[in-house]
Amino acid sequence: MIIILGGRNDEHCIHVANHLDKLKEEYYFLDTRNYPIFNWEATSQNCGSIIAEGKRISFCDIKSVYWRNYYSVPFEKISDDEFVSKMVQREKESALSSLFYSLKTNWVNSIKAFELHKKKAYLINLMKENNIRVPNTLITNDKDRIEDFFDKNNNKIIVKPILGGAYTEKLSKNDLTKERLDSLITSPVQFQELIDGVDIRVYAFKDEIYAIRIEADTIDFREDLNAKLIKTELPKNICEDCKKVMQISALKYSGIDIRLSNQGEYVFIEANPAPMFIYAEKQTKYPLTQSLINLLTS
């Protein structure tokens, strides 16, 4: 029994389900926008059950979970008192996350990995402590720190959200108007040194490493619809660093983003715990789907 955490309208969920069908593997979708019915007992055993798509499934029967999308718990107004509605949402969220932490099965990937991914500054520090090259990074809402950071990085800076969800932009000092700097107080922003070079996307499955060189005409390759995806080989030490990043980030499977500088230096950016892979597989013919299915069914 395999649980697909995500919606039936998600391309990657559908893709994985179709391949599980071919193997005659039983699976069910768990879409948290439809809050599930479940029970869990505080024992050392894998004790409890969950109802997915109308079927009660014992925790003991769940072989794997493919975590594609966790939509959180939608807010529902159940009372005229907004505090009560928010408290109910908090309780539902806490119960579900406790279940995810407690369920003893093969998570690809686990809630721990996703929680770590939200703490990118912490992961950057962990990588640096493990002698992995990462970009100089400043996360701040203090406008007085920005000019010094520009100077330390030869005025070559990018800016991007801390959690993600928007494209990376290149900044110059001319972009830092008084209005823009003053707005920084409303929310911290992530600034990083700009690494001149090309992007490398690495799909890693335990000991399997598939590297792709991405030639794009934009700072953020996702904005270039004509970007070229080319198979490439990584030096042995960089492959070992990829495995180290996986271990640090509690990942079994990842899309690792690296920047290869014009000087030949590999700079690690981040490790995505639920990367999209269908397009990359079509362009490179790497067996990404099979590697993922092997993780789920082993």
pLDDT in tens, 145-158: 888 998 999 888 99
Range of lowest pLDDT (105-114, 116-125, 154-163, 283-292)? 154-163
User: Contact, 277 vs 256, CB < 8 A?
Assistant: no
Say how many domains are in the chain: 3
Q: What is the pLDDT of residue 224?
A: 67
Q: What is the pLDDT of residue 90?
A: 93
Residue 125 lies in a domain: no
The reply to whether 185 and 204 lie within a common domain is: no
pLDDT in tens, 49-98: 999 888 999 999 999 999 999 988 888 888 888 899 999 999 999 999 99
Residue 257 lies in a domain: yes
The reply to whether 224 and 282 lie within a common domain is: yes
Residues 6+ apart with CB under 8 A from 186: 141
CA distance 55 to 79: 30
pLDDT in tens, 207-219: 899 999 998 776 6
The reply to whether 8 and 74 lie within a common domain is: yes
Residue 166 lies in a domain: yes
pLDDT band for position 168 (50/70/90)? Answer: confident
Residue 247 lies in a domain: yes
Residue 216 lies in a domain: yes
Nearest to 20 by CA among 1, 36, 39: 1
The reply to whether 75 and 153 lie within a common domain is: no
Domain with residue 41: its CATH number is: 3.40.50
The reply to whether 158 and 222 lie within a common domain is: no
Domain holding 233, by residue range, is 196-297
